[in-house]
Amino acid sequence: MRRVSKVTAAAVGVTLALTATAACGSKPKDDKKSDSGTSATPGGTQAVKIDFKACMVTDTGGIDDRSFNASSWAGLQQAKQELGVEVKYITSKTENDYVPNLNSLVNDKCGLIVAVGGLMADATKAAASTHKDQKFAIVDSSSIEPNVQGLEFNTAEAGFLGGYLAAGYSKSGKVATFGALPIPPVTVFMDGYVQGVKYYNQTKGKNVQVIGWDDVKGDGSLAGKFDSPADGERIANDFIAQGADVIMPVAGQTGLGAASAVQKSGGKASVIWVDQDGFESASQYKSVFLSTVTKDIKAQVFNAVKAAANNQFTTKATIGTLANNGVGLAPFHDFDSKVPADLKSELTAVKGDIVSGKIKITSKNQPKS
């Protein structure tokens, strides 16, 4: 387990079923995939192919991470189905692939290139400054160049709900979280989670302990990568051994290892997943998913592609919040009957207080409006 001393500035059942993004990309046979041609729209009619190509570069977790890469690709797939655009992605196996992958798509005459993940900010900035006529969008980063649209999410808000849920559901009085890397798009979830637990303790007179993250010090448990399920399983097993019975991994494919560990624990713990509804996107572990802290990446990516295809591209950053349903808490699914009615009601009230500003979340990792 890796620990950090300081985060750098790198780079509900009920009405809380806000933004459960259900789509998941399929696993690629190679590092590049292109879809084109006429396709059926959700209403059953055929989307006429238009002369526009939307392309994407994944982060290192891969297209099938059941998380932000998969959600982004789902947005492009929706654009193909509903708008008739051609779509394509390239997989980054390491961070060294970011720049050549972006440049490759520039040469491929893509109308919009979507970079997935805050780790790609520097590479995207460099590519955008070199290719000033090329339109870019980047998930989990701000609008870093005049030709780049930032697609951001204030998951501290939804993470706060996840922390409150975890604290209210826990039987052991210990919950946990860990991340992949010490970057704002990861630690903002964890900050919100910890502050949600603290708020539960404050309002209920409890003392639920959070293992794995200190939101004040920016110090905690980090796997060091997004693509290592073995590390996720090891960290989760350590948390379970310490008595944690609700775990929130913020680590892409690495987090799948945590879900596996919980599944093997024989009911000792449950998981709060992140990004897209884990019950549907990682259904092999659906029996352990208490809920998911969601961010509607699919919709944001689709909207960016639609705007670009219609010559309405903007570099004004979008920020998903509880108020605009860009982030949320997914349904409880198999856990619905196990979550007390009063806890569900409290979550609804807490959500309302966050939206109104009555509850202030203090994470420094929140995107700037």
Per-residue pLDDT tens digits for 154-186: 999 999 999 999 999 999 999 999 999 999 999
pTM of the model: 0.85
The candidate with the shortest Cα–Cα distance to 290, out of 245, 226, 224, 326, is 245
Low-confidence residues in the chain, pLDDT < 70: 1-48, 369
Q: d(Cα 96, Cα 105) in Å, to the nearest integer? A: 16
The predicted-structure confidence for 127-157, as pLDDT tens digits, reads as follows: 999 999 999 999 999 999 999 999 999 999 9
Q: Is 34:80 a contact under the CB 8 Å cutoff?
A: no
> What domains appear along the chain, each with residue ranges and CATH number?
20-153+298-320 (3.40.50.2300), 155-296+325-356 (3.40.50.2300)
Angle, alpha carbons 16-20-25 (nearest 5°): 170
